[in-house]
Amino acid sequence: MPWFASVLLLLAYNFTGIFPTDLEIDGSGTVWVLSSASPLVIRLSPDGTTDSYSLDIPGFASGLAISPTGRWAVSSAASGVILVHDTDDILTAEMPVESPGDLVWNGLDIWYVNTSSGNLETPGGTILARDCAGRNTRLSSGGFGRVLLSGSRGVFLVEEGRGKTLVAGSGHGCFSAGEILLLSGGMVLNPRGDTIAVDVPGTRLSSSPSGGTVIVWGGTVPSVLE
């Protein structure tokens, strides 16, 4: 059994009744889970160990982002703030923003969903794309100024300086090894329309940067695609 399968079964066993608001996989293969039940980040390492980090915010966090260098950030709509942490989990910055939803790293910068305006913005107020996001929108970074937005309005590709392009009218997408994967109707498809997996439980996709591990979540138990 692959280590991810065993780790995720451990996650389901130890945290029964707690489901992700967000789920990310970093370059080392560690799964990061933002709990929907409490302001808590749970990390599951490739060696099977688990640790967690409590967030000092009211209510629940809205989104989680992991940078390629290991820095990480969470957003809090209730506090109107993005909290940035270094690789040692030390809080290094608090960025006041309007109604933050999910967020991603783009190089050294952060892009986030303004759930009040429906726009994709930077903490400095630059609008990257308008009318394409909401409270439940999830973001996936492809690097080089590319971000996928998946939500009730469809799946959009936003490229810095080029605006937004509709990729799919429904479903969920993520970047995986530089390509776009789409989850729709229980099937995972690649950009050429080839079927990667069928009868997949869950509504959302996350991938490691290399594409070595893809996880379908948003259902009862996260599923690993091999």
What CATH code is carried by the domain that includes residue 186? 2.120.10.30
- How many structural domains is the chain composed of? 1
- Weakest mean pLDDT among 16-20, 71-75, 85-89, 120-124: 16-20
pLDDT at residue 162, as a whole number: 92
Instruction: Give the model confidence (pLDDT) of 40-69 as tens digits.
Output: 999 988 777 888 999 988 888 999 999 999
pLDDT at residue 111, as a whole number: 98
**Bridge partners, 173 (sequence order):** 182
Torsion of CA 85, 90, 95, 98, to 10 degrees: 70
Q: Which residues contact 79 (CB under 8 A, 6 or more apart)?
A: 57, 58, 59
pLDDT at residue 46, as a whole number: 78
Instruction: Give the model confidence (pLDDT) of 95-117 as tens digits.
Output: 999 999 999 999 999 999 999 99
Q: pLDDT above 70 covers what percent of the chain?
A: 91
Q: Which of 137, 161, 160 is CA-nearest to residue 149?
A: 137
Domain range enclosing 99: 3-225
**Tokens (6 digits) for 85:** 């942490």
